[in-house]
Structure 1
Amino acid sequence: MLIPIILSGGAGTRLWPVSREAHPKPFMRIGGGKSLLEQTHERALAVSDGTTPLIVTNRDYYFLSRDELANQQVKPQYLLEPMGRNTAPAIALAAMWAMEQKNDATMLVLPADHLIKDTPSFYTAVRHAEALANDNFMVLFGIKPKAPETGFGYIEMGDAVSQHARVVKRFVEKPDAATAAKYLATGNYVWNSGMFCFKASAILDAFATYHPALLEAAQGVWKTIKAEGDKIELNAGFSSLENISIDYAVMEKAKNIAVIPGDFDWSDIGAWSAVADAIQADESGNTSNNCQNIIIDSRNTHIEAKDRLVAAVGLDNLLIIDTPDALLVADKSRSQDVKQVVSRLKASGHDAHKIHRTVIRPWGSYTVLEEGPGFKIKRIAVKPGASLSLQMHHHRSEHWVVVSGNAEVVNGEQVIALEANQSTYIPAGHKHRLTNTGATELALIEVQCGAYLGEDDIVRFDDIYGRVG
């Protein structure tokens, strides 16, 4: 039984301004119009013959993930972390879940934010890894390097353990350019992809041998899980687990480690230069995600713009990433440094590191249309049958004008039915709730007025999505 474990987390700071904390890299649509999460889920189903995958993700991404995979024939289970603790705790807990599915289950661990187009070759590599896992090896998928890349960790390969795999001699941290060139020349190194295949029992035994403290703490957390429907929630005790990668915790110490040097194409989409590489270039090396964008007398330039036309003239080796509320212009060779922008935004308290102008919520979405001192204007879209929480704001009042659809509004002690071209005023301090009672999307304009308009000025009293407290 091959059980896919999909690790879906990380803010993808080098892919700002498209990837942000509230809408990170796994939800980006690269290659074929589907999100990276959806593509990973489909690969996992195909290679495991439809076995239900487990997606390990942050609690905040549960509803977004579920909506993203709503059309999939086989729905996953979700293991929800209250905060990030790197890959070792995630894999240890996933192994405990896999053992409950079947004692001798084999785990295929896949990050949710990788792009693989040559799926037949990937499936072949998985079958080879599965065979080795049955012989009690813990298997890594290496990627044959195509260039002296400094953004990846490397694996030095030793003797062959099968026709398709070799012993892991050592792990190497991200090298400088000269060292990476030496690795490429020897032909004895592969990129560490972060994908694994092993028996659930084997990885738990490895934790017991090489990091027993983490295993004991994780077992304590597992005893207190709350399982309901398709989700398993981890409690606050998860925060006490060590923040450590599976490589540091186990793989660099264990002896029964093999690596398969993969022949399939692969990208971790770690920076905008990798996004550009995933798109067919024109004769001058230019790429764009939108055929309406105009590129004239330019070379090796990438444009990412969905909401408006972008024209580039006389440029060389640039990245232009346009979103409704932020624009990035960078030298393509500096794509790894985009994360410094995010650090600056965080330090200054600017929301652009975390949220987009359009923010996805379990009940639908809202888009900030305009804002200034003392006011903010939003367009709110609510799914049929969905409902916002019963809530209150201390510092702002709100005016709601229905544009289309049917709404039921709780406003203080009143319950009001509203339809298109009708409105209501909600003073600061009033409990209120919005519900879509119709069969189509409810759209309304919200005008906020007040001295403080931050999204954290909200007190929830009741919520069908479990967000109270």
Structure 2
Amino acid sequence: MQKKPYIVIMAGGIGSRFWPYSRNGRPKQFLDILGTGRTLLQMTYDRFIKLSDKYMFYVVTFKEYLNIVQDQLPDVPAEQILTEPLRRNTATCVAYASYRIFQKDPEAKLIVTPADHLIIQEKSFYSTMEIALQAAELDDRLITLGIRPNRPETGYGYIQYISNHGNPVKKVKTFTEKPNIKLAKTFVESGDFVWNSGMFVWKANSIIKAFEKYMPDVAEAFEEGLTHFGKPDEEEFTRKAYSLVKNISIDYGIMEKADEVYTVLGDFGWSDLGSWLSLHETKEKDDLGNVVDANAVLYETKNCYVKVSPEKLVVIEGLENFLVTESENVLLICKLNGEKKFREFVSEAKKKGEDYV
């Protein structure tokens, strides 16, 4: 019987594209975005506990979110909630968890997942993950889950794979980060591109070899940690390590460069819930494409997302493809697909006062 995998949940993001509902002090992964009674982080834990055991979970998060993670995931051992002193993107996050787990179990196999994804068809997801876990048995293989696209989407990265009929494990040919709409249409029409889900499977030893080859500065920083992990000076060590490495994603730092990268194709009702638009796509809509989470009266309004406290009556006339939402002390009205402007929105709001972000 194969050993169960370790589960690494990346939970340190700030969720700025879900502002103003998502705030710096409590980003979207800690919110009940879907109205299920469980936060996105808790739903991720619930999904993966069926594949592993609670003592095999590691959560990597920003230092200020430690108490939130402990409150929301009380079954995860406290020493396995790894806090980042600085935000350094996913490559550093993955390195910290991988070296930490490797120190404990050199034969470990890891599933790395963001904390804020939606997966609707869990049975199909588990079947896909089982194929990925088996594929990762071979040394040096780095496996990513690829999602079959159902539309040209500019908000996701794309993976081009080499077709080998009958084998669900495909050799990766290229990675492309968030293309323009013309290129996205070309990718979807070609049939040999999938969305990059941001979920990975590999042996701890395989990803560490990749760090040593493609990101030697990160490898050097964290190899030293093997003598500090679990010791009183671990926090001091991580501060030093994070100060020495660049802000870079695992895709750009390793996956785009490595030779032994494979993708397992999946179709299990996936969304990265990266924006209000992606959430709008998952929600039940009225006959005109509106998602209404409010006490609202709409006139000549189509394809909008309205989320306002039920204590207020919202009357809207003549809007199309708009987001209307309020949270605490902020009312936001903008284009539903205007996620590229959100950094600017948040930056300007911060100038008005810290309590708006």
Equivalents in 2 of 1:88, 1:349: separation in Å? Answer: 33
Alpha carbons of 1:305 and 1:36: their partners in 2 closer, same or farther (altered >3 Å)? same
Alpha carbons of 1:147 and 1:336: their partners in 2 closer, same or farther (altered >3 Å)? farther
Equivalents in 1 of 2:224, 2:94: separation in Å? Answer: 15
Aligned to 2:97: 94
Paired residues of 2:58 and 2:76 also in contact (CA < 8 A)? no
- Name the SS for the 1:47 alignment partner: coil
Cα deviation for residue 281 of structure 1 reads: 0.8
Equivalents in 1 of 2:63, 2:349: separation in Å? Answer: 24
Residue type at the aligned position of 1:338 = F
- Equivalent residue in structure 2 for 1:65, among 65, 69, 72: 69
Residue type at the aligned position of 1:14 = R
State percent identity of aligned pairs: 33
| Aligned positions, number | 348
Aligned to 1:85: 88
Q: Deviations over 1:119-178 (max 9, x none)?
A: 111111110000000123210011111211111111111133972121100111211111
The list of structure 1 runs, each at least 4 consecutive aligned residues, that deviate by more than 4 angstroms after superposition, is 73-76, 225-228
Cα deviation for residue 277 of structure 1 reads: 1.5
What are structure 1's unaligned runs of at least 5 residues?
355-469
Alpha carbons of 1:23 and 1:310: their partners in 2 closer, same or farther (altered >3 Å)? farther
Residue type at the aligned position of 1:80 = T
Q: Deviations over 1:300-342 (max 9, x none)?
A: 1111224633423323221111112001101223233222201
Residue type at the aligned position of 2:336 = K
Equivalents in 2 of 1:252, 1:208: separation in Å? Answer: 15
- Asked if 1:10 is matched to 2:13, the reply is yes
Q: Deviations over 1:240-296 (max 9, x none)?
A: 222211122211111111001211111111111111112111112111334x44444
- Name the SS for the 2:270 alignment partner: coil
Paired residues of 1:13 and 1:338 also in contact (CA < 8 A)? yes
Equivalents in 1 of 2:310, 2:224: separation in Å? Answer: 48
Paired residues of 2:44 and 2:117 also in contact (CA < 8 A)? yes
What are structure 2's unaligned runs of at least 5 residues?
none
Aligned to 2:191: 187
Q: Deviations over 1:344-399 (max 9, x none)?
A: 234x2621453xxxxxxxxxxxxxxxxxxxxxxxxxxxxxxxxxxxxxxxxxxxxx
Equivalents in 1 of 2:356, 2:312: separation in Å? Answer: 24
Aligned to 2:25: 22
With 240-249 and 130-139 compared, the bigger mean Cα shift is at 240-249
- Asked if 1:177 is matched to 2:159, the reply is no
Paired residues of 1:141 and 1:259 also in contact (CA < 8 A)? yes
Equivalents in 2 of 1:99, 1:277: separation in Å? Answer: 39
Paired residues of 1:113 and 1:269 also in contact (CA < 8 A)? yes
Cα deviation for residue 118 of structure 1 reads: 1.5
Residue type at the aligned position of 1:175 = P
Equivalents in 2 of 1:28, 1:306: separation in Å? Answer: 16
Normalised TM-score (structure 1) = 0.70
Aligned to 2:293: 289
Aligned to 2:111: 108
Aligned to 1:198: 202
Higher helix share: 2
**Matching of residues 350-361 of structure 1 within 5 Å:** 350-354=353-357
Residue type at the aligned position of 1:81 = E
Alpha carbons of 1:310 and 1:162: their partners in 2 closer, same or farther (altered >3 Å)? farther
- Asked if 1:325 is matched to 2:324, the reply is no
Residue type at the aligned position of 2:25 = A
Equivalents in 2 of 1:284, 1:12: separation in Å? Answer: 28
Residue type at the aligned position of 1:20 = R
Aligned to 2:154: 150
Q: Deviations over 1:174-204 (max 9, x none)?
A: 1111111111111111111111000000000
Equivalents in 1 of 2:77, 2:270: separation in Å? Answer: 25
Paired residues of 1:326 and 1:352 also in contact (CA < 8 A)? no
Cα deviation for residue 213 of structure 1 reads: 2.1
With 307-316 and 276-285 compared, the bigger mean Cα shift is at 307-316
- Equivalent residue in structure 2 for 1:240, among 233, 241, 244: 244
- Asked if 1:256 is matched to 2:245, the reply is no
Cα deviation for residue 8 of structure 1 reads: 0.5
RMSD of aligned C-alpha atoms?
A: 2.2
Paired residues of 1:141 and 1:192 also in contact (CA < 8 A)? yes
Alpha carbons of 1:274 and 1:310: their partners in 2 closer, same or farther (altered >3 Å)? farther
Normalised TM-score (structure 2) = 0.91
**Greater RCO (CA < 8 Å, at least 6 residues apart):** 2
**Matching of residues 267-286 of structure 1 within 5 Å:** 267-286=271-290
Alpha carbons of 1:161 and 1:98: their partners in 2 closer, same or farther (altered >3 Å)? farther
Aligned to 1:126: 129
- Name the SS for the 1:260 alignment partner: strand
With 111-120 and 216-225 compared, the bigger mean Cα shift is at 216-225
Paired residues of 1:149 and 1:180 also in contact (CA < 8 A)? yes
- Equivalent residue in structure 2 for 1:212, among 216, 232, 240: 216
Residue type at the aligned position of 2:42 = E
